[in-house]
Structures are given as C-alpha cells and as structure tokens.
Amino acid sequence: MSDSWKVTLPCTRAEAEAIDPEGAAFADMTAPPVLMTRELTEDDVEDWVLDAYFQDEPGMREIAMLRALVPSAGDTAVVPERIAEQDWVTLSQSGLEPVATERFYVHTSANKGEVPAGLRAFHIEAGLAFGTGHHETTTGCLMTLEAMRAAGQVVRNHIDVGTGTGLLAFAAMHLWPNARATASDIDPISIDVTRVNAEVNGVKLGTGPGRLELAVAPGLAHRTIERRAPYDLVCANILAGPLIELAPAIAAATLPGGTAILAGLLDRQADGVLAAYRRAGFRLAGRIQLGDWPSLRLVRRPIR
C-alpha cells in the first residue's frame, strides 16, 4: 500500500465557510484532496484550521491552490505530512462525530458510537462526494424532512438533485417508504458513491415504489428525471449559484403544492436564492438555521 499526505493551514471561520464543500478548486485533478475544516478554539472566529488529505505528495501547485483558499495563512510554512495508507480513513474522518437528529443517526466507520434506540442509522463515509450529514446544510435538510413527516405531509414521488452521497434520498425513502425515489448528480463519482452507500445501508435500487433510481445529470436535464416528473418533493443541497440557475427547472419539475428543500447556501445568499424561487412561483414555508447555513422549505404556488 502506498502512503498518503496531509497538509494543514491556519484559517479563519469565514474562510472555512467559504470553501466549496465539493472541492471545485481541484475539479481538474484525477484524485482531488479531501478538505476538512475545524475550530481550534471555541467561539474564536480567527482560530480555525484547514486540513487537506492527498493521495499523492502535493507539489507547489497544489499547495498554492490551498493557500488561495485561506489567504489569512499568509506565508505560513507548509510541510506535507506523510501518513500510512492504513491510517488514511481514520485520520480524514477523525473529527467527524456522529450526527443525531430526531429520526436519524449518521456515522462513519471511524466514529459509529452507540446508535440511539429508535433512530435509523446511516453509515456514510466522508470521501469523494459531498453530503455526509456532518455539515450544517445536510443536517438542516434532514431536520426539514423530519418536520414535514411530523406534520403529516405525504410524499409519493421525490428527487434529490446533487445527491452527493445519497443520504437525503435515503432519509426521504425511510420517511415515505412507498414513494418513488430518484437521486441525481452531475458528478459520476457521486453516483458511484451513492450506489455503494445504498448497498451498505440496505437501500434498494430500481424503478418501482420504495426503490431508488440513479441518474448522472447536470441539474434536471436527463430523460429519466423528466420521465419521472413531476415531483411533490425536490431536495437540492448544492450551492447558491446553481440553485439560482436551476430555479425555473425545479419549478417546472415540482407539482403545484409540492415542496422544494434548498440548502448549500450561506445566510447572506438566502435573499438572492429566495428571490429567484419566488419569481419561479414558490413561497417560503419554513426555514431551519444552523450556524450561518439556512435550509429553506419552499412550496410551489398553484398555477392559475
């Protein structure tokens, strides 16, 4: 087995929150690094750290790309740390504590802990795809789904756009087990990850009720997604820019009276996203705020 490499740089909370969780800065790399941020001193917005895990020893170009993400690091010396292959998963996930919501418990293999009674556990490894449940955006979406189910909302046909790891699709399938389910992502790797996670978590793939159909697609532009529309629930935990771009397409794919859950945006970006969806025929029906990350629940107005 070959060794892997770790690079650590200091950063601020603002820089940490501005980092693209899907690693777009390294999109042209065959093996992009796993990027993780953590707070060193509680409530100190200046004392954060960026850890980057590489499969191969990073060169000057990769280190320069990291520095561009955290300008406050300045000329801090960077010495890539070699880590043994068998320690890769444990090290990259060491800061990921299990996440427990009202109905769900999300964990990695490194930190399973004790699953609380009555919760549906999902084993989701951190790695090449975004959406492990350990970020406020994904957790907020899980809580929004739970609130919908608690309010008695019925979902018969749902889609998770930009699914990442498949977690939100799996959660919706647990809450509405007889619904048709679809998960899509522009990144083929994410769909491969979702397929593996489905097997690990006992989620059935297929086309019928209670099974998950997968599609590699930019947004909603795919014949499978179009064929299965309209949806009474659309989840999109991506980024603010793509959310705004997709507003007309998501509106067209959502039943009147149906719900769209939007996340992946910072609090300061919410007004712009909401404006785009109001123009597309949605109204704001709920909002969950975790730190600086809102999860928006929108309802499509009836067509007149």
Task: Specify binding-site residues for S-adenosyl-L-methionine.
Answer: 138, 162, 185, 237
Alpha carbon separation from 33 to 4, 9, 44, 134, 204 (Å, rounded): 10, 14, 26, 18, 30
Check if the beta carbon of residue 12 is closer than 8 Å to that of residue 45: yes
DSSP symbols for 57-84: ---HHHHHHHHHH-GGGTT----PEEE-
Geometric angle at alpha carbon 165, from 161 and 170, rounded to 5°: 75
- Binding residue ranges: 138, 162, 185, 237
CA distance 183 to 216: 9
Q: In what order do the strands lie in the sheet with 4-11?
A: 34-39, 48-54, 4-11, 81-83
SS3 100: strand
Task: Look at residue 113 and give its three-state secondary structure.
Answer: coil
**Residues with Cβ within 8 Å of residue 144, at least 6 apart in sequence:** 261, 286, 288, 295, 297
Integer CA distances (angstroms), 226 to 47, 277, 299, 301, in order: 46, 20, 20, 20
